[in-house]
Structure 1
Amino acid sequence: MRPFKTVKLLNTLSLSIGLLFGAQTVQAASYQIDSKGMHAAVQFKIQHLGYSWLNGRFDQFSGHFTYDSAQPNASSVMVEIDTRSINSNHAERDKHLRSADFLNVSKYPNAKFVSTSIVESASGIKVNGNLTLNGVTKKMTIDAEKIGEGKDPWGGYRAGFSGTTQFKLADFGITYDLGPASTEVFMTLDIEGIRQ
């Protein structure tokens, strides 16, 4: 084979291989959670004595996620919560919740969730990861759903998800006795991200 044709053939093969593998390694889009515009929320509820629900939220948090609708299982998410910002709509109770009896915010001012895998199927989205709270890290799964994605009125692009999970306080070293009906916390995370 002539040298010119050999070089041309090699160049064609290199381009084809590059296109093939490049298509398979496309990076998922990165999104910043819109906590500044408060188009996101981290909320919780726990039973009070087995008679009612106590609801609250964390006012300060941040995070980011990656998402590609063509490859949702390659996504990832990280959320960091300022535990000092707990708000149960009662100042004295919040002071107690910040104490060493519960969140111990003077020692552990942040909680953090980092995904390890995300699995999307016909039944929904499972976000598997690690939650660090009160200095303890445990595996956790968030049941999530995609709310939607698309352009916003300001020239950006957004995607939003909602997720729920639950865990026992004792799993994170919080053993203050609130009664047998109040050992488990239920959390809801609504996040809207702005594509970067």
Structure 2
Amino acid sequence: MPPINYKIDPVHSSVHFSVRHMMVSNVRGEFTSVSGNLVFDSENPTSSSVEATIEVASINTRDAQRDTHLKSADFLDVDKCPTITFRSTKVAAHKGGGEVTGELTIHGVTRPITLEVEGPTAEIKDPWGNQRIGASAKTSLSRKDFGLTWNTALETGGVLVGDEVKITIDVEAVRA
């Protein structure tokens, strides 16, 4: 069977993140607009690929003031860098999942990153006749590696915003 092309279903896919806040808790958020394409080769999974784009303006941390600050030049600078992109460069498969390595661009800075992947699921037919697959992935990154260095020192020690960002991705894709 030849490789199959899939389109990311933005309504059933999500990109969530968490980062330490004031050294005491984690703030969680998501990007609500994600799109892209997957090519899955069930006979040779290592030749599969993924490309995804996230609209930075779609950030949602459940606090409008914080979201505005995250969109500003202090952080993601949505006016100059309106998207976050990922393009795979290597896929390593193992039972139940694998690793997808690729180039992640945030804030105009591109760095290699590896996603730990669960899936893909077996392809299913939805009630409308579409063929779908799904997968989940997780990783963490240093926001400073992407030029996101804004911070404030706390009077009691430590900083307002942690450096490590944990990312969780859930994707559902429809056969193109």
If you compute each CA radius of gyration, which structure gives the higher value, 1 or 2?
Answer: 1
Q: Secondary structure at the match of 1:182?
A: strand
Report the aligned-residue RMSD: 1.5
Q: Secondary structure at the match of 2:38?
A: strand
Within the alignment, does 1:182 sit opposite 2:162 as a pair?
yes
Give the fraction of aligned pairs with identical amino acids, expressed as a percent: 40
Selected match of 1:171 from 145, 148, 159: 145
For residues 41 and 177 of structure 1, do their structure 2 counterparts lie closer, same or farther at Cα, with a shift above 3 Å needed?
same
Within the alignment, does 1:97 sit opposite 2:67 as a pair?
no
Paired letter, 1:186: K
Superposed structure 1 runs of 4+ greater than 4 Å apart: none
Quick check: 2:13–2:34 contact (8 Å CA) kept in 1? Answer: no
Within the alignment, does 1:142 sit opposite 2:131 as a pair?
no
Paired letter, 2:137: G
Paired letter, 1:95: T
Aligned to 1:194: 174
Q: Secondary structure at the match of 1:101?
A: coil
Deviation at 1:40, TM superposition (A): 0.6
Aligned to 1:9: none
In structure 1, how many angstroms separate the alpha carbons of the residues matched to 2:33 and 2:13? Answer: 10
Selected match of 2:131 from 140, 157, 160: 157
Deviation at 1:165, TM superposition (A): 0.8
Deviations 1:136-163 (A, max 9, x none): 0000000001152222111111110000
In structure 1, how many angstroms separate the alpha carbons of the residues matched to 2:146 and 2:16? Answer: 18
More helix by share: 1
Deviation at 1:85, TM superposition (A): 1.0
In structure 1, how many angstroms separate the alpha carbons of the residues matched to 2:80 and 2:120? Answer: 36
Selected match of 2:3 from 22, 28, 33: 28
Deviations 1:90-136 (A, max 9, x none): 00000000011100111000110000011102373100000011010
The aligned length equals 169
Q: Which has the higher contact order (CA 8 A, sep 6+)?
A: 2
Deviations 1:6-40 (A, max 9, x none): xxxxxxxxxxxxxxxxxxxx6310000010xx111
For residues 107 and 167 of structure 1, do their structure 2 counterparts lie closer, same or farther at Cα, with a shift above 3 Å needed?
same
Aligned to 1:80: 53
Which blocks of at least 5 consecutive residues in structure 1 are unaligned?
1-25
Paired letter, 2:77: N
Quick check: 2:88–2:103 contact (8 Å CA) kept in 1? Answer: yes
TM-score (structure 1 length as normaliser): 0.82
